[in-house]
Amino acid sequence: MTKQTNSKSLSQMIGIFRQSSDFKTMAIALPTQKLYISYYSTLIDESKLQHDLIWILQESARENPIASLEDLLPMIPMTQILISNRSDEIHDKLMRCHVLIQLKRDAQEGALVHIPTKFGIRPNNDTENEFSVVGPKVGFIEDIDTNIHLMRLQINIPEFVVKEVSIGSLSHTRVAMLYIDGVTNPEIVNRLEQRLRSIDLDVSYDSCQVDQLVADSSMTPFPLLLATERRDRVVFALASGQAAFICDGSPYFIIGPSTLFDFFISPEDYYLPWVLGSFFRLIRMFGVVFSLFASALYVAILTYHYEVVPHSLLGPLIYSRIHVPFLPVLEVIFLEITIEFLREAGARLPTKIGQTLGIVGGIVVGQAAVEAALTSNVLIIIVSLSALASFATPIYKMANTIRFLRFPFILLAAVWGGLGIFIGICFLFVHLTRLKSLGYPYTTPVYPLRPADFKDSFLRMPFQQVNRRPGFLRPVSKVKYSPKPVKRHKQDWN
């Protein structure tokens, strides 16, 4: 309980509040006096208000008259009670599910009691976009307290620290920053907290919006911080020495510092034997490379480099394009944009309709385009495989980046052929090596080279070999656990 000084007239502020139809002010009749309570009916649970506050006050006041606001403290069985005469603080609390209690209607001081509601919060917290066959399905919802509760169930140690920051001059959105004291480098914590507190924004809609304001650079299509809706991924990141934050009203945690490899790692890799986890991770990375360069190579080969096509394949390739009137680059761009239309339409429609549209639309449009001689059968296969390979990326933001980068490579291949693709790759590597995530290199462990961190990058090595946290994070505690050899006993078979 704290008491603070007045900044402006509370009665004037309440007069402004009354312009809203959901702002209620009512008098509670007690045996010897009246109390006045004010609240937003859309922000609190009025049944809890009646049973947990009004009824208790009426019963308690029969034996103990209320002479001051301090007399309310032993009566109300709640811990979140604040007595204040600062109108700006009262304004902030009323907007955050509090009830204001005044002894007189024109009193400039009041007691604030927290009575929240869970209206509008979905009960289902299964993961939707980061689905995995093996492993837990626990995700987050749009309530920040529920999300922190889920995290504390998994990390139940006192060193698990949650710091709250308020951003948004209009929304005053709660932002919770999470890290493990004694594991996470204090430099990461201080840098992230400083960037969150320095945000000048009117309304914060989602964690992914704050992600762009916190990131080191906005002049890149690559996501510099990892957004996830999976609890196990956040727990793994915190245990590795990273930090995370989430905004109230968002089901996504933002994790940083992140590297390029983090976006191609699936939690499922750790629930399978390390051989299978490594194999599927390599398949995923190969799919990204294929999706990025397949269409560009088709344009380059058909425009400039026919000599690299084997003779046995040259005949079918020429036959498939003999009636196509367009240049290879126009043919590819037409089909790539058509695929993007189908993908966007399927994502914006309801689930069942979107799936039907994607399947039927792809078959109908592809068959019609071939019969109308607008494109070739070979290109239909290449673009379809590229679209499938792009879905292998576990993180949606990185999948969008791969989809976008295909178009610059297609244009470079149309202008300079294979040399254009090589120039594009050089620019891409230079751009990636210049990126940073919360001040840490984005391409670690490749550049700067850290051989010790390769155990969990391209491959997922056995748990006995990945018992140390990533060195580039410079964690306070470097060792996750101390693996011990398994004792195997020989059994006598009779």
Domain enclosing residue 383, as ranges: 284-441
Residues 206, 166, single domain; the answer is yes
CA torsion, points 251, 254, 255, 260, in degrees to nearest 10? 110
Write down the residue that tokens 């399927």 correspond to.
346
The one-letter code for the residue type at 124 is N
pLDDT, residue 354, reads 63
In contact, 231 and 239? CB cutoff 8 Å: no
Taking alpha carbons only, the member of 11, 2, 120, 101 closest to residue 56 is 101
The reply to whether 243 falls in a domain is: yes
Cis peptide before 158 (omega within 30 of 0): no
Residues 291, 436, single domain; the answer is yes
- Cβ neighbours of 485 (radius 10 Å): 6
Taking alpha carbons only, the member of 48, 250, 52, 43 closest to residue 141 is 250
* pLDDT tens-place string over residues 27-58: 888 877 888 899 888 788 888 888 888 888 88
Residues 72, 195, single domain; the answer is no
Cβ neighbors of 457 (< 8 A, separation 6 or more) are 261, 445, 446
Cα separation, 238 vs 412, whole angstroms:
41
Q: How far apart are the first and last CA of the chain?
A: 74
Please tell me what DSSP assigns to residue 21. Answer: T
The reply to whether 135 falls in a domain is: no
In contact, 443 and 260? CB cutoff 8 Å: yes
Angle at 296 between CA 436 and CA 445, to 5 degrees: 25
Residues 158, 303, single domain; the answer is no
Residues 248, 207, single domain; the answer is yes
In contact, 75 and 57? CB cutoff 8 Å: yes
Residues 42, 161, single domain; the answer is no
- Cβ neighbours of 404 (radius 10 Å): 12
In contact, 5 and 86? CB cutoff 8 Å: yes
Write down the residue that tokens 């891409």 correspond to.
428
Cis peptide before 325 (omega within 30 of 0): no
Residues 251, 289, single domain; the answer is no
The reply to whether 309 falls in a domain is: yes
pLDDT of the chain, 494 residues: tens digit per residue? 444 434 457 888 888 888 888 888 888 888 778 888 998 887 888 888 888 888 888 888 777 778 888 888 888 877 668 888 888 888 888 888 889 988 888 888 888 888 877 666 677 777 777 878 888 888 898 888 889 988 988 888 888 999 999 998 888 899 999 999 999 999 999 999 999 999 988 888 889 999 999 999 989 999 999 999 999 999 999 999 999 999 998 999 999 999 999 999 998 899 999 999 999 999 999 999 999 999 999 999 999 988 888 888 888 888 888 888 888 999 899 889 988 888 887 777 766 666 666 666 766 777 777 777 778 888 888 988 888 888 888 898 999 999 999 999 999 999 999 999 999 999 999 999 999 999 999 999 999 899 888 988 899 989 888 889 999 999 999 988 887 776 666 554 44
Cα separation, 164 vs 176, whole angstroms:
4
Residues 167, 231, single domain; the answer is yes
Domain end point (choices 258, 293, 323): 258
In contact, 314 and 306? CB cutoff 8 Å: yes
Cα separation, 102 vs 104, whole angstroms:
5
The reply to whether 449 falls in a domain is: no
Write down the residue that tokens 């004792």 correspond to.
487
pLDDT, residue 7, reads 47
Residue 481: Cβ-neighbour burial (10 angstroms; 0-12, 13-18, 19+): exposed
The reply to whether 191 falls in a domain is: yes
Domain end point (choices 96, 114, 132): 114
Q: List Cα–Cα distances, 78 to 192, 227, 327, 336, in angstroms.
A: 33, 36, 73, 60
Residues 180, 317, single domain; the answer is no
Residues 410, 293, single domain; the answer is yes
In contact, 169 and 201? CB cutoff 8 Å: yes
Residues 98, 194, single domain; the answer is no
What are 24's two structure tokens? Answer: 């209620």
Please tell me what DSSP assigns to residue 322. Answer: T
371 phi-psi bin (left φ>0, alpha ψ -120 to 50, beta other): alpha
Residues 303, 417, single domain; the answer is yes
The reply to whether 3 falls in a domain is: no
pLDDT, residue 491, reads 58
* pLDDT tens-place string over residues 127-164: 777 878 888 888 898 888 889 988 988 888 888 999 99
Cα separation, 258 vs 442, whole angstroms:
7
The reply to whether 303 falls in a domain is: yes
> Which stretches within 35-86 are classed as H helix?
46-49, 55-60
pLDDT, residue 1, reads 41
What are 22's two structure tokens? Answer: 């959901």
The reply to whether 139 falls in a domain is: no
pLDDT, residue 54, reads 85
Residue 245 dihedral angles phi and psi, to the nearest 5°: -145, 160
Residue 192 dihedral angles phi and psi, to the nearest 5°: -65, -45
Total of domains in the chain = 3
